[in-house]
Amino acid sequence: MRLGLFGGRFDPPHLGHLLAAEQAREALALDAVWFIPAPSPPHKPAVASPEQRYAMTMLATASHPSFAVSRLELDRPGPSYTFDTVQQVRAAEPGAELFLLTGADAYRDIASWHRAAELVRQVNIIVVARPGYNLEQLEPDFQARAGVVTIIGCDIASTEIRNRLKEGRSIRYLVPESVESYLVRHHLYRQQPV
């Protein structure tokens, strides 16, 4: 099995995440893509709770037969590192060929990741990037170990979605309808009433 691992805050998950996962799945002939919400990333704290982000990611991916959402990082005690997640998946799926999907912005910081040098030797690193991105600014070893999947330009960011909600603006067509309904129902990212 060819398995894509797509970790992140998903705070909230949006159409850009889904588009990136689908284009990587297609380009790499992946059998499945696991979305792996991070419990509380140390470098970028999340706004919504881990359980809310898990629920939204489940809603966002529900209609795709090759997408699944994993609780690996949410259920593991202590700090959550990508290296540990890859080891856990490798133990659970010993015959799978693993592809770690990461955004170009996150991969720029790969040298600061926990056990990064070991990580890039144990899994296929796939940088999901917009047209024109290159890896030239990375250290040569990290540059050489990454493949790039160029996706259709889709400039959607979770930060923008949170800001739009905070300002009372529409997020229609930025997130799946099921996620939008969840956000409205739970009043996520909105300013508290005075």
Q: Which domain holds residue 48?
A: 2-153
Q: How confident is the model at residue 129 (pLDDT cuts 50, 70, 90)?
A: confident
Q: What is the pTM of this model?
A: 0.91
Whether 179 is in a domain gets the answer no
What does the chain come to in residues? 194
Residue 170 lies in a domain: no
Instruction: State how many domains the chain has.
Output: 1
Is 14 part of any domain? Answer: yes
| Residue 193 counted as domain residue | no
Residue 48 lies in a domain: yes
Residue 23 falls inside a structural domain: yes
For residue range 51-91, what is the model confidence (pLDDT) as tens digits? Answer: 999 999 999 999 999 999 999 999 999 888 999 999 999 99
Q: What strand order describes the sheet that includes 67-69?
A: 67-69, 32-37, 2-8, 97-103, 124-129, 146-150
Torsion angles phi and psi, residue 55, rounded to 5: -60, -45
Is 158 part of any domain? no
Task: List the CATH number of the domain containing 22.
Answer: 3.40.50.620
Q: Please check whether residue 165 lies inside any domain of the structure.
A: no
